[in-house]
Chains A and B, each alone.
Chain A
């Protein structure tokens, strides 16, 4: 059976990995240059405990189930995970009711260890919190991951179990012809017996091509600030504010790499590819973050970024078989808490696919490839051994994050390897530090060209026409063949 998964976000890759346990010919098509190019690369990186979603919804069930799967999944595939906990802060008297509602919802959804705490305890646990805080929901089971690193790890695991990944294959049309699916893609026409639509913000359009029951996805933009890890972490937990109808409000959170993240804003936009940041939204994030953290200092900002969430107008995930179109399955409207829910979505949907299509489990399902510890996290003794084994560990390419040539080459050679500067950056952290690639990008570019066997002028930042170099100096001076 030929299965095509459309979309290489965290959900598509989790499904690819789960499906790779079964006997089938599986291909994943990704419209971008790499996996984790859409919402999976630009979100808050929180593994939500599950108190936020309305009880009885898909969101509530899959969030709580997914969050509980995280520690083991991350260990199995080699992705970062931590559970520092979270708080939802109430600053106004009327917000106490919201905190109580969230507490009740959490209990109903099956979230454990929840507690409402008062000002003194909040300030004792998180002394940098705005002292005007009234009360908070304490969420010890709230976790963190690195969404793109998880996606890469899931993709690698799927790939070593036979899933084929095709990048730059954007699916524009899908139809059923003589019992098979025909997909029009930017890499030509393809056919499959079974399809799984995980196309993120594009999933609504594909759904509507297959089903008479139309859905509408609204691209909702969220903008963030990221602070360098030279800024000492002032909060050990993810600090939420009371949610509004536009989302969970602005959070201040540590990341697993010691950075501080602020955001997101929430603005419905027309263009789903619009990930430009705006002065207004960033000013709002700045202002609202100060509510949680009055001492906020933007001096250590290293970057700002925006991500697009696929908001379904009825507000819930649509997961399962496409009604009236046998052989088509889908995950539509997967916005927050989609990252938290992804493992549970994969388990649920692949379980359904396997039973409805009598897929048989493989005799042998290979474990995820083992990757070396990052150089920056190694002890001195480990470094001594690493460079003895592979001299490329002796060349520090990214001085800010201490990323070595060995790791950059390994990132490019992974089963689903990096092909761009951004792909290397997200896999290794080269260029993620305080100089933002100023020093290392020329060398990373050189290594990419060498490993991929292409000319330096063909290397891109993030696919498409994002080349860093336009020509040689000889060509620019009017010599040569440009």
Chain B
């Protein structure tokens, strides 16, 4: 399988042609430097994103901002948002508090990035 992706390591934004066979990257073309090749492997085999969101807090008129502690598989972004949508957070929430552990069976916790007292 052939895929076209844009390298995000620097503003050049090389267009990479990636060949994937049996779940393995077998060929990368179009990269201007070594970092492009590494990125192609990672992005085509196991793309991951950190998810951030604003989540309502019961009885408070301001939401709390949260993030996944580390990136989670890209295809789980919306599933993660769904789990956050049904959370019932109560104040106080402190920066660093785990608001949701092991989101979507990724083993990654979602933590608060601000304090809502």
Residues of chain A touching chain B, judged by Cβ–Cβ distance below 8 Å, are: 472-474, 477-479
Contacts and interface: CB of A to CB of B under 8 A. Distances in A.
A479 B86 CA distance: 7
A478 B85 contact: yes
A479 B54 CA distance: 13
15 contacts: A472-B56, A473-B54, A473-B55, A473-B56, A473-B63, A474-B56, A474-B85, A477-B81, A477-B84, A477-B85, A478-B82, A478-B85, A479-B56, A479-B85, A479-B86
Contacts of A473: 54-56, 63
Nearest to A479: B85
A323 to B, nearest CB: 58
Contacts of A472: 56
Contacts of A477: 81, 84-85
Nearest to A474: B56
B43 to A, nearest CB: 28
Nearest to A456: B61
Interface of B: 54-56, 63, 81-82, 84-86
Contacts of B82: 478
Contacts of B63: 473
A107 B111 CA distance: 79
A477 B63 CA distance: 13
Contacts of A474: 56, 85
Nearest to A475: B56
Nearest to B81: A477
A374 to B, nearest CB: 30
Contacts of A478: 82, 85
B61 to A, nearest CB: 9
- Which 8 pairs, one residue from A and one from B, show the smallest C-beta to C-beta distance? A477-B85, A474-B56, A479-B85, A478-B85, A473-B54, A473-B56, A473-B63, A479-B86
Contacts of B86: 479
A479 B81 CA distance: 12
A477 B84 CA distance: 9
A449 to B, nearest CB: 10
A473 B81 CA distance: 12
Nearest to B85: A477
A413 B95 CA distance: 40
Given A474-B56, A477-B81, A477-B84, 10 more contacts: A472-B56, A473-B55, A473-B56, A473-B63, A474-B85, A477-B85, A478-B82, A479-B56, A479-B85, A479-B86
A473 B65 CA distance: 12
A477 B81 CA distance: 8
A9 to B, nearest CB: 38
A472 B55 CA distance: 10
B100 to A, nearest CB: 14
Nearest to B82: A478
Q: Which of B54, B63, B82, B85 has the most CB of A within 10 A?
A: B85
A474 B81 CA distance: 11
Contacts of B54: 473
Contacts of B81: 477
B16 to A, nearest CB: 34
A472 B57 CA distance: 12
Q: Which of B55, B56, B81, B84 has the most CB of A within 10 A?
A: B56
Nearest to B55: A473
A389 B38 CA distance: 66
A469 B74 CA distance: 30
B36 to A, nearest CB: 36
A472 B60 CA distance: 12
Contacts of B84: 477
Contacts of B56: 472-474, 479
A178 to B, nearest CB: 54
A473 B89 CA distance: 14
A473 B55 CA distance: 8
A474 B86 CA distance: 9
A474 B54 CA distance: 9
B88 to A, nearest CB: 9
A297 to B, nearest CB: 33
A478 B86 CA distance: 8
A212 to B, nearest CB: 59
Contacts of B55: 473
A402 B85 CA distance: 39
A479 B55 CA distance: 11
